[in-house]
Structures are given as C-alpha cells and as structure tokens.
Amino acid sequence: MMKSKIGGALAATALATCMAGPATAADDTFKIGVITFLSGQAAESFGVPAWNGGKLLVDMLNEGGKLPAPYDKMGFGGMKIEAVIVDEAGGATKQVQEFRNLVQREEVDAVVGYVSSGDCLAIPPVADELKAFTILYDCGTPRVFEDGSYEYVFRTAAHATMDNVSLARYLKSRSFDVPSFAGLNQDYAWGQDSWADFTGAMKQLYPDAEVKTALFPKFGAGQYGTEISALLREKPALVHSSNWGGDLQGFLIQATARGLHKRAQLALAAGDHVIPQLQDKMPDGIFLGARGVNGLAAHARGGELKELTDTMWDAYEVEYNTFPVQAPFRMWQALFGLKTAVEKAMADNGGTKPTSEELAAAMKGLSWDAPSGRIEMALAGGHQAIQPNAIGTTKWNADAGEMELVDVEYYAARCVNPPEGMKSQDWLAQGFPGAECD
C-alpha cells in the first residue's frame, strides 16, 4: 500500500513537472536552437562539419579567453551558451514543426540553422509570426530576401550569386580562353539557379562563348557515364558544376577516370568540401570555390584575420583530424555575428539578456569579423550578408600529402555581390552595375 502511495506521489510529481513545461533559460544562459543536417545526403558534406565547427566554437566561447579580441569575452556577453541540436532531415513541413518546438517548448533565445534552401524559404514567415530571432546560416537561394522581407530573420552568409560571378571573374582575370562551356548541375533549385547565375555572369564577361550543353541529372543520381560521354563529345573548353556531396564525389571519380579533366577545364562552384574525402583522387588544375573565403582559401589568406582564422583552423584540425571546409566557416560566421549582436544589444539595454526585438535591432546592418572575412549585413535592409569570396586551383602536394589551393584570387564583397535594392538576376543581366572591384 505504502509502495503504491509513493509510486503515485512520484508519478504525480513527474506529471506536474511535465505540465509545468521546460524550465525557462536562466538569464546567465543564452540558449540557441541549432538546425543542421545530421543525417541524409547533406550531413557528411555540410551538416556534420558545420556543427562540429559550431560545437567547437561554443566550447571555446564558454571557456572564455581562447579567441583573439574582440571574441575573448566568455560566452555571449558573459552568458553561457547552451545549444539544442535538431536534425534538418525530413523536409520543410517537419522543420516548421521543429522550429515551433524550439521556440515555444524549448524557449530558445535564438535559432541558427538551415542548409536547405527549401527550409530557408519555409521558416522565415513562421519566425516572424512567432517573433523568434532567427539566423539562416548556410542556404544559398537569393529568393529569401529578394522575394520577401522579414523582421526577425537574418542570413549571415552571402547568397549563391556570388559563387558564380566569382568563378566567371576568375576565368577572366586569368585570361582563360572560353570559346565554349557546358554545365552539369543537380536537377533542383540549387543546380538550376547556380547554372543560371553562371551563364548570366558569362554572358557579360564572355559574350561570345557558346553554351554547348546544359545537363541536369537527377539529385542523387550516382551514375554520370552518359553525361560524361555527352560532355566528351561536345568538347566544351570548360565544364561548370555546382554539384555537392556524394553527387560531386561520384561525378569526379567517374569523370577523372575517363579523362574529362584533361579535355575540359572543370570549374566547381562549391567544390572544396570533397577534398578531405577524395584527397589525391581530386585532380590537379580544377578551379574551385568554397562559397566564401572559406577552408583552404581562408587558411592561405593571412592578413589581419590570420590569428582568428588560424585559431579556429588549428582547433578544428586537432579535434577532428581533418581541416575545416566551407560549412564550419559559415557556422562560425553566424555564431560570431550572433555574439556581436547580443553584446551590442546588451550594451544598448544596460546589460540584460536581449529580447528578440533588441537582437533584431542590433543585427540590422551589423558588420563583424569572422575567419571567412568581414561579414556585412548590407542587403535587404540589413538582413542579408555580403562577404568576400575566393577562387583557387587545386594542386596536390605530394610531399605534405595534402591538397593545396594555388593561384587563389580574392574578391571584395562589393565586387561579386549585387548592391542593395537590386535583384541578382537584374544585376547580372545589366552587367554588374555598382560593382566595386579592386
């Protein structure tokens, strides 16, 4: 009898605890919800390395004093950072539900997330509805802020137009002869948009170049034999691809085995993240970008940010036994931006934990330094970032047993991103008006 009474009391207590909901984060803790791919095709390329980098940075910030100024202060404005991680796999409908969970049940102070452009388009209206401060850290579609406007949503990475304008400028700056080119891109929004951006930029810089063929194999196709035959037959001077992950790895394995890289110049819009897996199977002489001055290009850059970049780079290498590719760089720039915004808001409000409104006000038009360069919230009324970019050429260093980027060209943010108030496609069609190149 006594036993059952105790059991009943325990059950009631447990139930009451559940009904009370999760404990509200204390004022000495800043709780972030982080959404990124932990499973599925984008996990290995983007999601997992991004959060590996994020986890590392959160640990370093919570410890305090591990990073050079202005990031040497503990946590976010002295508050300890607590992260709740959610897997992005499962589609936009599921992510909207997860987002509501994070905001309403977990009561996070900010959300940092989304690799998929589909998720980045689905979340902002919900974020504004819930007045939840949200940073889109990775996705590339220009449409988020070109087709919409949001109060509480910010994107701390440049959108994808920059990748292909930089690639086209790289060809031009190296006087690369492009009488013709072809494309092999994944058949969904990312691949279609990337090809449209590249052809738009090429039309301005190489108006006489002929488009030989545009191939759009299915996402996750794996087999590219027929496409490679078509590219070999068409003999374009250059082959453009924005493929990523397993699709890019499969394409490179099959294309190099058949000598495509010897007959055409390969130009990859987002190619750096397959280097740790492919190593010397990735051929020399490929032009590639990393969607920002990320990865090898950041490591090679030096300059004022060298200390910050090297600190993150070395810590990542020690922790994960590989070098950080583009995804952790984008996570770092988001978290450094959030830290800067939190501390700016706290300086304005007398040092208390900022509300979503205060955070949004602080983030609008903000600039801060990240290992990937100076990030400026310069587009979409201060909600969309621009950043510098870099393109380089692969070269295997047999002595060191590692891939290097050589002939790296760095582009200022205002050289390869459209100006405020202008849509990317219009900017490309009008010949990059307002571009500020060195």
Residues that bind other proteins (CB under 8 A): 38-41, 43-44, 48, 187, 213-218, 220-223, 225-227, 229-230, 232-233, 245-246, 249-250, 253-254, 257-259, 277-278, 281
- Residue 82 or 187: the one with the smaller Cβ distance to other proteins is 187
Shortest distance in whole angstroms from residue 219 CB to other proteins: 8
- Residue 204 or 254: the one with the smaller Cβ distance to other proteins is 254
Shortest distance in whole angstroms from residue 112 CB to other proteins: 20
Please report the sign of the dihedral spanned by the C-alpha atoms of residue 87, residue 88, residue 89, residue 92.
positive
Shortest distance in whole angstroms from residue 46 CB to other proteins: 11
Place of tokens 């579609």: 141
**Cα distance between residue 324 and residue 287, in whole Å:** 19
**Cα distance between residue 7 and residue 433, in whole Å:** 73
Please report the sign of the dihedral spanned by the C-alpha atoms of residue 138, residue 143, residue 149, residue 150.
negative
- Residue 236 or 371: the one with the smaller Cβ distance to other proteins is 236
| Residues near 17 by beta carbon (within 8 Å), at least 6 away in sequence | none
- Residue 54 or 75: the one with the smaller Cβ distance to other proteins is 54
Shortest distance in whole angstroms from residue 115 CB to other proteins: 13
Identify the CA nearest to 390 among candidates 288, 255, 321: 288
- Residue 92 or 126: the one with the smaller Cβ distance to other proteins is 92
Shortest distance in whole angstroms from residue 22 CB to other proteins: 27
Shortest distance in whole angstroms from residue 113 CB to other proteins: 18
At 374, phi and psi to the nearest 5? -80, 120
- Residue 197 or 227: the one with the smaller Cβ distance to other proteins is 227
Shortest distance in whole angstroms from residue 86 CB to other proteins: 16
- Judge contact between 364 and 383, C-beta under 8 A: yes
- Residue 189 or 214: the one with the smaller Cβ distance to other proteins is 214
Torsion angle (degrees, nearest 10) of CA 328, 329, 335, 338:
-150
**Cα distance between residue 340 and residue 73, in whole Å:** 11
- Residue 214 or 412: the one with the smaller Cβ distance to other proteins is 214
Tokens of 215: 């191939």
Shortest distance in whole angstroms from residue 75 CB to other proteins: 30
Amino acid at 237: A
| Residues near 123 by beta carbon (within 8 Å), at least 6 away in sequence | 92, 95, 96, 99, 113, 114, 134, 136, 153
